[in-house]
Amino acid sequence: MLKNAEDLEKLRNELLKDKKKEQTQIAVCSGTGCRANASEKVVAAFRQGLQDLGMEDEVELKNTGCHGFCEQGPIAVILPQDICYLRVKEENVEEILEKTVRDGEVIEELLFEDEGTKEKIIEESKIPFYKNQERILLAENRKLDPKNIDDYIAHGGYRALSKVLQEMTPEEVMDQVDKANLRGRGGGGFPAGKKFRTTAQAPGEPKYVIVNADEGDPGAYMDRSILEGNPHRVLEGLIIGAYAIGSSQGFVYVRQEYPLALENLTIALEQAREKGFLGGNILDSGFNFDVAIHRGAGAFVSGESSALMTAIEGWVGEPRPKYIRTAVSGIHGKPSNLNNVETWANIPLIMDKGVDWFLNIGTENNPGTKILSLVGNVRNTGLVEIAMGTSLRQLIYDIGGGIPGDKKFKAVQTGGPSGGCIPTQYLDEPIDFDNLSRIGSMMGSGGMIVMDEETCMVDVARYFLNFLKEESCGKCTPCREGIKQMLDILDKISQGKGEEGHVELLQELGDFVEEASLCALGTTAPYPVLSTIKYFQDEYEAHIKENECPAGVCKELIAFVIDEKLCTGCALCRKNCPSDAIAGEPKETHTVIQGKCIKCGICLEVCPPRFAAVKKEKAGKKVLVEEGGN
């Protein structure tokens, strides 16, 4: 156990002394995404291969957290050369060890290939996906074994905590967070320093500090990846925050669906207690603090602050009216400070590197970086960390590589299921809390879903609203009934049953739900609908007035047909049709029986490209009448 700051520095120096400066490292990403692609088998193959070659003392193998470029996983980086191999398989390991690690040769087939220039890029830092980011929170993910606290300490871990406990008063810590203008990364962008001070000054004991790791947005995994890859960074931030606020008890609320994050966090807590960073008289400072893990039940609404605290108390995770903020009256009615994983992870960096360093990243009112989940119709998908103020265009084209298939960009949906959809004219707008709100969306937790020209915006609004309807706790009428009524109207519009006045009714309902709902799930739920009406009203009008889906997505408004001039009678479409909706004999022209067609699109997929006889057409009023209508 480390008894004081001197013990910590002594241990750090010993760890650094033991490290061989020229030692080769192999860092294999073993976050959840890469594990889904068998990265654990790759790690095992490396471990066995190093033993077989007698190189286990020369080469350090690291089983790390997420590297970010998730669609290219499993990823293996050879250090210090910075050689980055993508989509590594078990069978590639022997060649990597013999050619690259032992002989210094590069295996071109495993390198990143630039889509435009076709250039093979060797170094990870020069791959556009990484080169155009500003990675301060994710930078150490590839350097650390998340299950080894010594790795974290060797890279400066717990130095900020030691500095705070030995040199700073709680008031000085809060002043630093205030001056850094750290805004909560969970979505609202509320100043963390102000929240710290509110809880510290609120009457009542004990005071609680909580990590919100109940990330529930579809496609979002920023907090999960930090907890999986660098749990001690989050824990160090929480301990510093507890010291500033005057809390002796902390909680980490972890989503049930995050088993690896839970595993790594549990190990981190045990190791922190063994080293003396948790418990009584931490680093001889007289400060006592410990942390418990609470596993969430998986409800999206439990990520809301009051609902999360209700769940920690042992009740169903439902929000409650916040006439008094949870910072003043939270768990068991006591002052409770809640921040998400990313917010807490920033605290040690600010304390260690200073306020000026933090303020020099990002913009004046939005300093620092933001981690985003970049998914959808974009070439490079994965976890991205950018300086606040980076434009949407830079994110989607410089980092994301643009839209695949030479298709046109249509919109990007930001901020999770409650976020708005931002069209082409705002591609050069900076990404920050204030600007995204100004143009009808929000930062949210950081989800970014890119959409191309073949996306139906009515269908997008319907998809997200359906998710929110299912996730609403049902406690308040505006959210429970308002979202359902809006979804019913969207269903009618997408089925060709829309009526004049439906768009105006959606706007009226959306304004009411936003104004009257109890918690943020309801107050932000209309954003996908209101933003798509604002920027893509012509698509709503086409669905209603012409019974036509311009993007050819809404099933009731499209039809699959077979061009008799191109059909060779190969029968692949008929053999694969699940509803027996295709008629025709072998080597004769086939036809689609529209009344039986379920619009699954399998016929289009299996039709050989050299024939391309199956076509997807916009149905419009004509086909609806021919099929008997709806």
Q: pLDDT tens, 237-284?
A: 999 999 999 999 999 999 888 999 999 999 999 999 999 999 999 999
Last residue of a domain, one of 409, 436, 452: 452
User: Is there a single domain that holds both residue 239 and residue 337?
Assistant: yes
User: Is there a single domain that holds both residue 315 and residue 229?
Assistant: yes
User: Is there a single domain that holds both residue 189 and residue 324?
Assistant: yes
Where residue 385 sits, what CATH number does that domain have? 3.10.20.600
User: Is there a single domain that holds both residue 288 and residue 235?
Assistant: yes
| Distance separating alpha carbons of residues 231 and 260, to the nearest angstrom | 11
| Beta carbons within 10 angstroms of residue 487's beta carbon | 20
In this prediction, residue 625 carries a pLDDT of: 39
Q: pLDDT tens, 599-627?
A: 999 999 999 999 999 998 887 544 443 44
Q: Strand 208-213 to strand 382-387: parallel, antiparallel, or no bridges (unpaired)? A: unpaired
- Tokens describing residue 519: 């918690």
Instruction: Find the domain containing 565 and state its range.
Output: 555-626
Q: Which residues does residue 160 pair with via DSSP β-bridges, in sequence order? A: none
| Distance separating alpha carbons of residues 228 and 244, to the nearest angstrom | 26
Residue 11 domain flag: no
Q: Whole-model pTM above 0.95?
A: no
Residue 409 domain flag: yes
Is pLDDT larger for residue 624 or for residue 105? 105
Number of H helices, E strands in the chain: 25, 19
Q: How confident is the model at residue 300 (pLDDT cuts 50, 70, 90)?
A: confident
Q: pLDDT tens, 309-325?
A: 999 999 988 898 877 89
- Tokens describing residue 70: 């998730």
Residue 329 domain flag: yes
Per-residue pLDDT at 586 exceeds 60: yes
Placement of tokens 């925050």 in the chain? 241
| Beta carbons within 10 angstroms of residue 141's beta carbon | 24
Average pLDDT over residues 398-418: 92
Task: Indicate the number of domains in the chain.
Answer: 5
User: Is there a single domain that holds both residue 306 and residue 182?
Assistant: yes
Residue 594 domain flag: yes
* C-alpha neighbours within 13 Å on the C-beta side of residue 386: 28
Q: What is the CA radius of gyration of the chain?
A: 27
Q: pLDDT tens, 545-563?
A: 999 999 989 999 999 999 9
Rounded (10°) CA dihedral 59, 65, 66, 67: -30
User: Is there a single domain that holds both residue 485 and residue 613?
Assistant: no
User: Is there a single domain that holds both residue 566 and residue 530?
Assistant: no
Residue 244 domain flag: yes
Q: How confident is the model at residue 20 (pLDDT cuts 50, 70, 90)?
A: low
| Distance separating alpha carbons of residues 286 and 269, to the nearest angstrom | 20
User: Is there a single domain that holds both residue 266 and residue 197?
Assistant: yes
- Full 3-state SS string of 100-169: HHHCCCCCHHHCEECCCCCCEECEHHHCHHHHCCCCCCCHHHHCCCCCCHHHHHHCCCCHHHHHHHHHCC
